[in-house]
Chains A and B, each alone.
Chain A
Amino acid sequence: MNIAVVVRQVPDLIEPLEIDSSGATLDLSSASFIVNESDDHALEQAILVKEAGGATVSVVALDFGDVDNTLYTAAAKGADRIIKLSLDGEPPSPRAAAALYAAALKPLNPDLVLVGVQAHDELDGGLSPFLAAALGLPYVGVICGVRRGAEPGTVTVCKEFPGAVMAQLNVKLPVVLGIVGAEQPPRYVPVAKIRAAMKSAQFEEQVAVAPGATPPLSICRLEPPASGSHAEMLSGSEDEVAARIAEILAQKGLRK
């Protein structure tokens, strides 16, 4: 089975996000980046399918942020091919990114494309369905488990529905799956293996190009979320805040 995984870089929320002087974009010069969490699960799921019975795992990523570390870690986890797409300018919105990823994925002719179902910087919709559309493949989202199907050319997937309802679906390949969680948490790889990958892993570097231009997203203004009227923002010294929390808990009957 030929599996392709898309991994994205997203701003790391340990740093405060800042809006630049235009008021319409984030100031990414002071941001640091980490791998998108559900993409990390998508990679783990791909490696699990590979380990369960042989597959080739190709990882595709746009080149910005801390992407090299993410890709070396992917290689250390067991990814077979690493494709890094160089980028001219700022990271694109999900619709524009879908076109770039699709152009890089098509020549790989994947049976299964796994991508995280969400990212915290998706401004104009989720990448995963856009990607399926750009590839002309069917899409199933909110997946939390993928196994080789009983029939050749199929996979059995576990899909989450609201109300904690889980469904098991048999899906024909090729397909794009939006992963919400792998069957197990993304594995820890010791740093020695990542260091070994830094010496041995080869990236296939390509320029990110897409046929036809995606109409750019027009952002009027970005603002930090305002405090709502129903939230009480606690301020003051530690003791004052603690006393107020104790009072609230007592009011709610959670503490005598």
Chain B
Amino acid sequence: MATVEAPRGAELLKQLGKAGDGKPPLGCMQCGMCAASCPLGHAMEFPPRKLILQAASGHLDKVLTSPSLWMCVACYLCSKRCPRGIELTDGVWPALRDAAMQQGFQPPAELQETFQNVFKYGNILGRSPRQRMDWAKDLDVRVLDLSKERRPVDVLWLVGCYPSYYPRNQLVARAFARLLTQLGVTWGVLGVQERAIGECDRMFGEEGLFETLVEANRKVLDKQDFRKLVVLDPHAFHALKKYYPRFGAWYAVQHYTTFLADRLEQLKPLIAKPVEAVVTYHDNCCLGRRSGCYDPPRSLLELVPGVKLVEMSRTRDNALCCGGGGGGMWLDAHIVAQGGQRLSDRRVAQAAETGADILAVSCPYELARFEDAAKVAGLEGRLKVRDIIEILAECMDLGERTTL
């Protein structure tokens, strides 16, 4: 296979230190906090500590060809706990994956397909860009499609790939459209012009694809007149907040949980009925550990009369990941083949231990991951998985079918 010149291990890590992602990785003191914290570290040939050690000591190729390079699911536990403040998740892993691909080493086949889908169709599911608005078909509220009718709006809602295309998530998108309308804000969507934001592509190490998406999204967004972007996907929130500005693309962006939590007083009068349920909330990694947003989602759940909020054994900055970030959504088979476990299976067991009726989530990946895991664990019917939007829509009588 053809290879190109790429920086060697220590040099690569040195360059990373200058890129502004936390402290320089060469400052690693090999304490092993990262490897011990990593929920998949036991199954990795090179957990983060060894990854740095091998790369820095001249064995970059060993790292780049190891299946463990494709096992990080971007839970940020290692980054959060590193006593030296090294940005492992956002910095070291993507850089090494990028180096591997630049040298011609192939990522797992499932990832190749996902990359190609995003490059060709602008969405991770490989669906036609023309079907972007299918989620809004026959919806009983008006959806302003800014690709057809350009008008100033308060909120430009980036619907996201899963809520646009995936039937289970489309229910959440439809509920959010009703909720936005009830709140009386002016809002619109990009319709067929919407593309993936590209966070997971960047985390996979596909920096070139990420740049392509930033350029394309910027071209579309800069033509619109809006006060803020609102996203359902915490990964998109993270990328828009942290990585788009590096390309000069600055946008005011909010994840829907903070957007709604800022409007608790406006939400209160909309409540029509209680939802009698014990609910536990899963802190997704991008919103929680990465962005420190723990209270807004809980404040929304506490708003719902009848909801009794209970916490899992691992919660807030210690929460266990669903296993879907950083490309993990497509790598379950790869991770299991390496001796790892689907983290969503472990997480639903923790949710069930609380005695909750509902596992509440705020990330589009998690509905599919946890609903599957609940089936595998025999919890179907006992533990329901619901987006916070669905719970709000239920208590506001905005649901098109009784979901609770």
Interface residues of A in 185-217 (CB under 8 A from B): 185, 187-188, 190-195
A232 interface residue (CB < 8 Å to B): no
B207 interface residue (CB < 8 Å to A): yes
B186 interface residue (CB < 8 Å to A): no
B212 touches A195 (CB 8 A): yes
Q: Which of B101, B128, B130, B207 contacts A188, CB < 8 Å?
A: B101
B121 touches A191 (CB 8 A): no
Question: Across the interface, which residues of B come within 8 angstroms of A51, CB to CB?
Answer: 1-2
Question: Across the interface, which residues of A come within 8 angstroms of B211, CB to CB?
Answer: 191-192, 195
Q: Provided the pairs A14-B126, A15-B130, A195-B208 are in contact, do residues A188 and B2 lie with their beta carbons within 8 angstroms? A: no
- A-B contacts counted at CB < 8 A amount to 47
Q: Provided the pairs A14-B126, A185-B109 are in contact, do residues A190 and B206 lie with their beta carbons within 8 angstroms? A: yes
Interface residues of B in 51-104 (CB under 8 A from A): 98, 101-102, 104
Closest A residue to B107 using CB positions: A188
A14 to B206, CA, bound (A): 24
Interface residues of A in 70-106 (CB under 8 A from B): 78
Q: Provided the pairs A14-B121, A34-B120 are in contact, do residues A191 and B1 lie with their beta carbons within 8 angstroms? A: no
A193 to B2, CA, bound (A): 12
A190 touches B101 (CB 8 A): yes
B30 interface residue (CB < 8 Å to A): no
B115 interface residue (CB < 8 Å to A): yes
Interface of B, secondary structure class, is helix
B2 touches A191 (CB 8 A): no
Q: Provided the pairs A51-B1, A51-B2, A78-B2 are in contact, do residues A191 and B208 lie with their beta carbons within 8 angstroms? A: yes
Closest B residue to A185 using CB positions: B109
**How would residues 1 to 35 of chain A score, 1 for a CB under 8 Å from any chain B CB and 0 otherwise?**
00000000000001100000000000000001010
B221 interface residue (CB < 8 Å to A): no
Interface residue count for A (Cβ, 8 Å)?
Answer: 15
B209 touches A190 (CB 8 A): yes
Closest B residue to A187 using CB positions: B106
Closest CB of chain A to B169's CB: distance in Å? Answer: 15
Question: Across the interface, which residues of A come within 8 angstroms of B107, CB to CB?
Answer: 188
Closest CB of chain A to B55's CB: distance in Å? Answer: 19
Question: Across the interface, which residues of A come within 8 angstroms of B115, CB to CB?
Answer: 188, 191
Closest A residue to B129 using CB positions: A32
Max chain B Cβ within 10 angstroms of own Cβ: one of A51, A191, A194: A191
A190 touches B98 (CB 8 A): yes
Closest CB of chain B to A61's CB: distance in Å? Answer: 17
B208 touches A192 (CB 8 A): yes
Question: Across the interface, which residues of B come within 8 angstroms of A34, CB to CB?
Answer: 120
A188 touches B106 (CB 8 A): yes
Question: Across the interface, which residues of A come within 8 angstroms of B119, CB to CB?
Answer: 191
List residues of chain B with CB under 8 Å of any chain A CB.
1-2, 4, 98, 101-102, 104, 106-107, 109, 112, 115-116, 119-121, 126-128, 130, 206-209, 211-212
Give 10 closest A-B pairs by Cβ, nearest first.
A192-B208, A191-B208, A191-B209, A188-B112, A190-B101, A14-B128, A15-B128, A190-B208, A78-B2, A195-B208
Contacts beyond the supplied A188-B101, A188-B107: 7 A-B pairs with Cβ under 8 Å: A15-B130, A78-B2, A188-B115, A190-B102, A190-B209, A193-B102, A195-B208
Would you give 10 A-B contacts (Cβ < 8 Å), ordered by A? A34-B120, A51-B1, A190-B98, A190-B102, A191-B119, A192-B98, A192-B102, A193-B102, A193-B208, A195-B212
